[in-house]
Structure 1
């Protein structure tokens, strides 16, 4: 059998040596010794048989059977030669790796149309204008005026939240978390930002008169008041769009 290629030599721990068993009729019967497989040692104190699955279970799950280093699929007709005998083929990429690759690429998908949409443009305008507000105020002696401390608190807080909201929409995270009512969250966020920013802009404009004209504080506070009102208009536009999307969702329900 070795000369004809029926069996081959192997040094694997899972190999089963072929032997001839003498029968009562004085005829030999070919058999395979499973001793090495049965007594394979998993640890120093534990012996277990080789953990193979049932062949019918492997067929049901369309699993790959591994013979040496050449896996083949029992349900694939292209893997069988003449007479239904499995032939060797090149190993293919497991389906789990394909699913992992596809899921990893899907998590990196971005909404490329967001920056050009009205909602994306308003979010970018809020980020830029809000950044200018707290930079201009932060570069002065604002801590001597309690009203300007309020302006800094509102501008920094809503700038951070707006950046986070923009990243959520850009990465399409809101589509992966359907349990959160994002339209309602966006409406509440933009509405509160409009009201609080309007108050902050009015306070900032009133604080300009307390500075000496032409000085650094005066120029920065005047510029920050202008950008604060501009940011308020952006948040008002976002609140209007959010209200329209929220109302359309409520009518569908």
Structure 2
């Protein structure tokens, strides 16, 4: 059990330690909120297609990338700590920026389309809430990753 919850060089976790370290404990909530945005937007009518296409791209891209990123840390495939710490910060900062833009687009479309079907309007509002929650989670993860990068 001790081998599955170890810390590698540079303070980066590996194994199940990613569930207990401050920046990395956000992987699961990021996956859940991103997955909910993906599901909620996919369950409504995609109109207008372009802004909601961006929201779908961001939610699917961030979900898949975060899942792969977490699996890399769980498997312990990160050996060069300074590069991985910097990449962790860059990815989460970029994901926060992407989710912020997607959340703003989704909120605008939801506001414009409020006269449509009330059930779809409620689903879109839930998607907006989860998009901004995902933005906050990725932002906090990026800030904590930048502090970890600074302390190397």
Distance 2:37 2:89 in 1: 23
How many residues matched?
Answer: 141
**2:55 pairs with 118, 142, 151, which one?**
151
Structure 2 matches for 1:1-253, cutoff 5 A?
111-175=15-79, 178=80, 181-209=83-111, 210-212=113-115, 215-249=118-152
Asked if structure 2 preserves the Cα contact closer than 8 Å seen for 1:194 and 1:233, the reply is yes
What 5-or-longer segments of structure 2 have no aligned partner? Answer: 7-13
Whichever of the two has the greater Rg, that structure is 1
Distance 1:240 1:200 in 2: 20
**Cα root mean square deviation, aligned:** 2.2
Deviation track 1:28-64 (CA, whole Å, cap 9, x = no partner) reads: xxxxxxxxxxxxxxxxxxxxxxxxxxxxxxxxxxxxx
Distance 2:56 2:16 in 1: 32
Normalising to structure 1: TM-score of the pair?
0.52
With over 3 angstroms needed to count, the CA separation of the structure-2 counterparts of 1:243 and 1:120, relative to structure 1, is closer
What 5-or-longer segments of structure 1 have no aligned partner? Answer: 1-105
Normalising to structure 2: TM-score of the pair?
0.84
Distance 1:214 1:153 in 2: 24
Distance 2:101 2:140 in 1: 17
Asked if structure 2 preserves the Cα contact closer than 8 Å seen for 1:183 and 1:246, the reply is yes
